[in-house]
Chains A and B, each alone.
Chain A
Amino acid sequence: MELESLNPQQLSIVKEQLDEEVEGLTNSFANLRHAVTKYKASKIALENIDQREILVPLTASLYVPGRIINPNQFMVEIGTGYYVEKTRVQSSEFCTRKMNMLMENMDKISKMINQKKRYLDLVQEIMRKKIQEFQASQH
């Protein structure tokens, strides 16, 4: 796109659009990072589950003591309402797979954000120049 050929008003529209896009992408990035944190926490929880006594929540304020019968069997939600029984190792691998996929997407988005920010800098630079030229021509 030829930015030089646009007037300051059009440039400011482009700038607004870019701002919106950067905001949207930054939001997505934050969501992805949040999801990675949750999978990381699940992975850590997996390693800590054994046959100790635990407190099982029946309601938000009522817990009963219990014991995990099989600390090697877990139910994993794989998406669209499907659940699979997995062993501790398989569940941990699942978490790792998910985290890797999410982090790959985070990389892609972060590159896009940087690209947009560079474009944004360029637009602002050209806007500044045009405004200066206009002011100079008024004297």
Chain B
Amino acid sequence: MAQALGKEVSDLRKIQKELARIESMIQDYVLKKHENEMVRDELQIVTDGNVYKLIGPALIPQKLDEARGNVDKRLEFINKEITRLDKLKADFLKKNEEKQEKIMKMQKDLGPRGK
């Protein structure tokens, strides 16, 4: 009985670790999203003047619409990832809650007898 409880607790730890990992990934993507949004806004303002991209140690000239397109595509991808991860996080939050309830119930059942 206590063994089953131990397993549930270890499952809970795994869920919480996964939650933390997902949360950290979401934070990373949110940061990237902000940076790319800033670049997109700046590129909107550019009318003349050359645009370059740093590839390795070299500044490679880019066409303005190509650069804008690339940033937009990247933003699209980032937003999709954030949506996906948010859904995953919601799933794991639910699992977390269910597991905690289960454990509490098991502890209550064990309570009067065990110590």
Q: Is the CB of A84 within 8 A of B35?
A: no
Q: What does the 1/0 interface line of A80-116 toward B look like (CB < 8 Å)?
A: 1111111100100010000001000000000000000
Q: Is the CB of B39 within 8 A of A80?
A: yes
Nearest Cβ on chain B to A112's Cβ, whole angstroms: 17
A78 contacts partner chain B, Cβ-Cβ < 8 Å: yes
Which chain B residues (34-66) contact chain A, with CB distance < 8 Å?
Answer: 35-36, 38-39, 42-43, 46, 49-55, 59, 62
A68 contacts partner chain B, Cβ-Cβ < 8 Å: no
Nearest Cβ on chain B to A73's Cβ, whole angstroms: 9
Q: What does the 1/0 interface line of A44-80 toward B look like (CB < 8 Å)?
A: 0000000000000000000000000000000100111
Please indicate the chain A residues that have their CB under 8 angstroms from the CB of B71 in the complex.
80, 82
Main secondary structure, interface of A, reads strand
Q: Is the CB of B49 within 8 A of A80?
A: no
Q: Is the CB of B50 within 8 A of A80?
A: no
Please indicate the chain A residues that have their CB under 8 angstroms from the CB of B54 in the complex.
81-83
Q: How far is the CA of A84 from the CA of B51 in the complex (A)?
A: 5
Q: Is the CB of A82 within 8 A of B49?
A: no
Q: Give which listed residue, A79, A80, A82, contacts B51 with CB less than 8 A.
A: A82
Q: Is the CB of A86 within 8 A of B38?
A: no
Nearest Cβ on chain A to B44's Cβ, whole angstroms: 11
Q: Is the CB of A82 within 8 A of B35?
A: no
Q: How far is the CA of A84 from the CA of B42 in the complex (A)?
A: 9
Please indicate the chain A residues that have their CB under 8 angstroms from the CB of B82 in the complex.
none
Provided the pairs A83-B54, A83-B59 are in contact, do residues A78 and B49 lie with their beta carbons within 8 angstroms?
no
> What residues of chain A have their CB less than 8 Å away from a CB belonging to chain B?
75, 78-87, 90, 94, 101
> What residues of chain B have their CB less than 8 Å away from a CB belonging to chain A?
35-36, 38-39, 42-43, 46, 49-55, 59, 62, 67, 71, 74
